[in-house]
Amino acid sequence: MSEMRMQEFVARENAGGLQVEARAPFAVPTEPQVSENAAKPIGYVVEIAGSSSAIALDLTRLEECAEDGDPSIALSGKVGSQIKIRVGNAWLLASVRTQRQDTSVGGGIVAQIDFLGEGEEERLTGRIYGFRRGVTRFPVPGALVYPATSSDLRQIYASDGRTNISVGTVFPTRDIRAGIYVDALLGKHFALLGSTGTGKSTAAALILHRICEMAPSGHIVMIDPHGEYSSAFKTTGQLLDVSNLQMPYWLMNFEEHCEVFITTKGADRQLDLDILGKCLLAARSKNRLAEQIGKITVDSPIPYLLSDLLIILQNEMGRLDKGTNSIPYMRLKTKIEEVRGDPRYQFMFSGMLVGDTMAEFISKVFRMPSNGKPISIIDVSGVPSEITATVVAVLSRLVFDYAIWSRDEETRPVLLVCEEAHRYVPNEKNSDGSSVGRILSRIAKEGRKYGVSLGLITQRPSDLAESVLSQCGTII
């Protein structure tokens, strides 16, 4: 901004009876010295819109501010920094999102800003107080833009008394605590996005550690596809992998059974689905629990023996007429025998797991009781890739089903965190219609009603389902 243009705006404000000099200092009284740069404009508003607005910045003033001892003022006008604009007797705080050169405006730089909120000005000290998110009054084009001070940032990021966790300090300061409100984070789901190597896993581990410290009796389930979180939660979490997960196969519903046992496509697939559904229901019905419950379905979590399922398949095949094709039965029988005999699948399809109960498995995985270890790290790196999505689907569905089943009992909120979330809930373009995508989408849309929170971590947010990402109230 040229010196003449800046003087013009200062003169305009002075003409209205507001002295620029009279508004300084802005810092809190405890600070020994107030920067002169805090009282001098660095630009003016060019355009105002509801979503994003534009300001013109004076390069000379930015260079002056860069030498300031206040780290917040030193970064004024740069991408990621905060600025403030007066509206009546209040200040609007905004964050600089982009910059570009534009010789058509005074100063030569145009920046896009996003409004953070507003706060009142204490006339005697100039400090901002009562900061609140959201904007009720917008400035007009031509309004002067000032650098935000560290004192201003302290007000912006001050806690209002709600339960929160500390995750670091506010850049560029070193003493202003950065906190996250727990209810807002978990009540409306959250997503942690970033490219490879930017610290997503470190940030996720920090946030989960803080939640565990705050709620040692909580219930957190982390799906870890690379085995990178085990070392971070050795003392505070239950570490589960293929060696000790022991997830009973009979917990799968019919759709999940089909993903494991049926490999055909087209018309043959529908025939296989019909055969598996009929035989699976017969196998579940052989359990005495089925007699006690009465009417059951193929989705009912009733234990059954794989050997019973194979015998039923064999018997059904024996009842076929000579002209009926037995290939679908043989195909299913061969696949089930293959899975049962493969040592890679023993964590799920071992015959020893038929005696386990759902209560035992839920208690182990959901940490009920937590016994000082409120988080379960489910390391699925050793799970065969063919069934990884199905394993995640079963775990996710159990989280949601448990929340629905226990809604009339004491509330026990559960946080489900998925690393590499784009694998399980891909966008419409990459979707394969898997069960895991459907259950995670349902948790994103309905989970908060039942006390289920969802945390998604991904390095490829563009590949994540838009409908799921849009449900995340906090994006880091």
Dist CA 233 CA 450 (whole Å): 27
Determine if the pTM surpasses 0.85.
Answer: no
* Residue 103: half-sphere exposure toward Cβ, Cα within 13 Å: 0
Provide DSSP, 7-29: HHHHHHHHHTT--TGGG---S-T
pLDDT at 290: 80
Residue 106 has which token pair? Answer: 């005074």
Instruction: Give SS3 for 126.
Output: coil
φ and ψ at residue 155, rounded to 5 degrees: -75, -40
Region of residue 222 (phi > 0: left; psi between -120 and 50: alpha; otherwise: beta): beta
End-to-end Cα spacing for the chain:
34
Name 312's Cβ contacts closer than 8 Å, sequence gap at least 6: 279, 282, 283
Domains and CATH numbers, the chain: 36-158 (2.40.30), 182-246+353-475 (3.40.50.300), 250-348 (no CATH)
Dist CA 456 CA 391 (whole Å): 17
Question: What are the pLDDT digits (tens) for 442-466?
Answer: 999 999 999 999 999 999 999 999 9
Dist CA 18 CA 84 (whole Å): 17
Work out whether strand 220-224 and strand 108-121 pair parallel, antiparallel, or are unpaired. Answer: unpaired
In DSSP terms, 421 is beta-bridged to none
Residue 456 has which token pair? Answer: 């998604």
Closest CA to 313 of 348, 276, 288, 286: 276
Residue 169 has which token pair? Answer: 């300090």
Residue 34 has which token pair? Answer: 């107030």
- Running DSSP on this structure, what letter comes out for residue 426? B
Residue 385 has which token pair? Answer: 């890739």
Closest CA to 472 of 434, 425, 403, 428: 425
Name 349's Cβ contacts closer than 8 Å, sequence gap at least 6: 249, 306, 339, 340, 342
Question: What are the pLDDT digits (tens) for 391-422?
Answer: 999 999 999 999 898 877 777 889 999 999 99
pLDDT at 324: 67
Residue 263 has which token pair? Answer: 């490999």
Dist CA 456 CA 440 (whole Å): 10
Low-confidence ranges of the chain (pLDDT < 70): 1-34, 51, 322-324
